[in-house]
Structure 1
Amino acid sequence: MSTTLTRRLRQADVSQEKKVEAEAPDEQEDEDQDSGDCKAIRLTLMEEVLLLGLKDKEGYTSFWNDCISSGLRGGILIELALRGRVQLEAATLRKKRLTDRKVLLKSDTPTGDVLLDETLKHMKATDPAQTVQTWIELLTGETWNPFKLQYQLRNVRERVAKNLVEKGILTTEKQNFLLFDMTTHPVTNTTEKQRLVRKMQDSVLDRWVKDPHRMDKRTLALLVLAHYSDILENIFASLADDKYDVATNRSKELLERDPEVEAYKPSATEMIWAVLAAFNKS
């Protein structure tokens, strides 16, 4: 009798150990995903913005869209913050507003992404530190100071597109537009793009939580960036009329919140609201 009981206990222990081993990778994956540096995060915010902005077959963004450049640079700042490389300086009585607080370098450890690492080098070499709005202007080259044009990140769309080509989501083609030839990047992995579109749609429909601080941080950031990159319509275009109205109204309600109020709430990611404040001010 005791032998049988001992055998059962041992079997139960083995089963429990196997269960723990099976669960451990998922727990580690969650921890890595929170850090922002794990392979489970397939795309950066910049890559997601560009992918959502591209026309699938044509492989280029709208010629009338002059907002996506700033959106991509805003995505760089948020991505760096989510990866623990930068943060806003602490609020003081004199510098309480998000648009007045400087971006501080927490770590210059390379991320493995060329654009992110190039931005880190600029920030490390800049003294004094600059605000979010100033960094967006510097990185886009929209600065009045000719001595700071070296901070401009050049060919960002093309470099992000090449990253997506390497990840098997886009391809590269040459198209003739009467007077000139242009490199285009049609979508080849439509499954990945549709997954992203559905995730964004669900965030304001079936998985709507009303409170932005309960939303996934990357999803919230992408909604902000998509709106100010003028590509939010691309995300909701496939919805039926009734769901389209719900999605746009909820997005509008979220984006019209006061960043200065939201940034100081518990669990808020300040950089997301700082980028929103910078976009509102520009």
Structure 2
Amino acid sequence: MVNALCFSNRKDKAVFTVFEEFPLLSIHEDKGSFIRSAMDQVKLGLGGAILAELALLGKIKANDKHRLELGDDSPVEDDLLGETLEILKGSEKARKFNYWINHLNQKFQNLPQEIVARLINKEVVMQEEEHLLWVIPSPLKAESNASTKYWLIRRLRGIVLAQEEAQPRDIALLSLIKACGLLDLVFLRDERKLAARAINELVVSRAMNDPIIQTIQEIEIALSAIAEED
């Protein structure tokens, strides 16, 4: 744990992508390393997390045949998303989401390390030898004495267990966690069955009227199928 006062010129960096928040949940609160039992599922889900971020930005969508299509073609500032879009544009035909998830997972095998660098840059954690230290307070809540992981879990639990308002970004993250079998990173054992049902109901209900959530749903379905194969 590091006090944020160490950063003399701290700026507001509390803007995170889905593919940053997703693996952030698997960093151990005390040990400062990724939780080993979760890493296979996290790595599996990263390709889906990248696609989810593109969906939230309106860059991709699901067509009537449940395949990925490109959407808004304006430039993106994020280099990883830009590289991903170039890969998608290079395809000769519309492909299923599970194809792209597997392809991106192979392409970006070093993504966990890159995400750690991003989290350090955004002052979420600091690197100390082989360990990561949480920066306190979080850039999410500069007035409170807690880590970014604490606030992220609190937000997700509030949505699922207390029916607090969910933004599309929250729904995307929850669907990824569920699809990859990582509910234990957020919910207690006796909460997980209820949480899985609540997340499913949330995704299904919102997908009826929101094309972005429809795409998120396709990503979740593809991830679940890939996870079952593994």
TM class by smaller structure: 0.7 to 0.9
Choose which of 187, 193, 200 in structure 2 pairs with 1:249: 193
User: Which residue of 1 is the match for residue 23 of structure 2?
Assistant: 50
Shift in alpha-carbon separation, 1:102–1:186, aligned structure 2, 3 A: same
User: Which residue of 2 is the match for residue 15 of structure 1?
Assistant: none
Residues 253-268 of structure 1 aligned to structure 2 (within 5 Å): 253-255=197-199, 265-267=208-210
Please tell me whether the aligned partners of residues 14 and 122 of structure 2 are also in contact (alpha carbons under 8 angstroms): no
User: Which residue of 2 is the match for residue 196 of structure 1?
Assistant: 152
User: Which residue of 2 is the match for residue 218 of structure 1?
Assistant: 169
Distance 2:79 2:218 in 1: 23
Shift in alpha-carbon separation, 1:276–1:137, aligned structure 2, 3 A: same
Distance 1:55 1:154 in 2: 21
2:109 is aligned with 1:166 = no
Distance 1:126 1:185 in 2: 38
Please tell me whether the aligned partners of residues 123 and 129 of structure 1 are also in contact (alpha carbons under 8 angstroms): no
Shift in alpha-carbon separation, 1:280–1:50, aligned structure 2, 3 A: closer
Letter in 2 for 1:249: K
User: Which residue of 1 is the match for residue 162 of structure 2?
Assistant: 206
Higher relative CO (Cα under 8 Å, sequence separation at least 6) belongs to 2
For residues 100-128 of structure 1, the C-alpha deviation after alignment (integer angstroms, 9 at most, x for no partner) is x2211223433222221111111112212
Please tell me whether the aligned partners of residues 134 and 147 of structure 2 are also in contact (alpha carbons under 8 angstroms): no
Distance 2:215 2:115 in 1: 21
Distance 2:199 2:156 in 1: 14
Shift in alpha-carbon separation, 1:256–1:83, aligned structure 2, 3 A: closer
For residues 6-61 of structure 1, the C-alpha deviation after alignment (integer angstroms, 9 at most, x for no partner) is xxxxxxxxxxxxxxxxxxxxxxxxxxxxxxxxx88611111111111111232322
Shift in alpha-carbon separation, 1:82–1:254, aligned structure 2, 3 A: same
SS of structure 1 residue aligned to 2:133 = coil
Mark the structure with the bigger radius of gyration. 1
Please tell me whether the aligned partners of residues 88 and 102 of structure 1 are also in contact (alpha carbons under 8 angstroms): yes
Q: Which runs of 5+ in 1 are unaligned?
A: 1-38, 96-100, 142-151, 176-183, 209-213, 238-243
Q: CA RMSD in A?
A: 2.6
Please tell me whether the aligned partners of residues 201 and 235 of structure 1 are also in contact (alpha carbons under 8 angstroms): yes
TM norm structure 2: 0.78
Shift in alpha-carbon separation, 1:158–1:222, aligned structure 2, 3 A: same
TM norm structure 1: 0.64
Letter in 2 for 1:127: E
User: Which residue of 2 is the match for residue 77 of structure 1?
Assistant: 51
Please tell me whether the aligned partners of residues 262 and 273 of structure 1 are also in contact (alpha carbons under 8 angstroms): no
SS of structure 1 residue aligned to 2:80 = helix
